[in-house]
Amino acid sequence: MKDFKTIQHHNDLPNNIDFEKSVGLSCIIHKNDLRSIQVANGNKIHIVNFDSNKNCQSPVLLNLLANQEVQKISFLNPETLIFLSQCLNSVPKNLFMIDVALQHSTPINHRLDLEYVVEKVLDIYIDNKIKDPNWQKASLSTNQISYIINSVMYLHDLKEALMGHSSQNNTISVITKQCQDVEHQIREELLQPEPSL
């Protein structure tokens, strides 16, 4: 297992983090409520825990999502990203979607879970079964923290491996275009104009 330092925060990231050129991004949504966001930055995994998604005041997270200079690598599907964007009222820019890259670089079924993809692409087995599904508790269990860590710690390695396959298949431009299309889809959902009277 990689050597990551896990740091938990409340409602937002601290404003003194130097973000690298790319970060891993994931989140936990439980019963239509945003419970946490995970950001893998260098050898640190930041877990931002929320009391409620009704009024998220998270300026550092918002700036990170909107920062075009920092690529966000994610295994989240578009629907989850739309929900996340609605909670934070911010459209993520410069997305790299593992799901999209899988479609154009390997014969792996891209609809399968991250545990399977990590094993098939990286030849690493992770036991990412959630044994404690209650995400509304005041503090996270050891199993929940392990699940969260696994959701982001291999995203950079997956991107590197998939881009290697894509380079051989001449599909990098297709992946880039489809990731941009997902961003556009999220923006359209989030910035829908008010209906005219």
Domain boundaries, the chain: 5-190
Q: pTM of the full predicted structure?
A: 0.90
Q: What is the pLDDT of residue 55?
A: 58
Fold classification of 5-190 is: Nucleotidyltransferase; domain 5 (3.30.420)
- Report the alpha-carbon distance of residue 40 to residue 23 in Å, rounded: 5
159-169 burial, b if ≥16 CB within 10 A, otherwise e? bebbbebbeee
CA distance 124 to 152: 14
pLDDT score at 195: 46
CB 62 within 8 A of CB 17: no
pLDDT score recorded for residue 151: 92
Which residue in the block uniquely carries the two structure tokens 């599907």?
77
Amino acid at 73: I
Per-residue pLDDT of the chain (197 residues; tens, 9 = 90+): 567 899 999 999 999 999 999 999 999 988 888 889 999 999 999 999 987 655 577 899 989 999 999 999 999 988 999 998 888 888 889 999 998 998 888 777 656 788 889 998 999 998 877 776 778 777 888 888 989 999 999 999 999 999 998 888 788 899 999 999 999 988 888 775 544 54
Residue 179: the pLDDT is 93
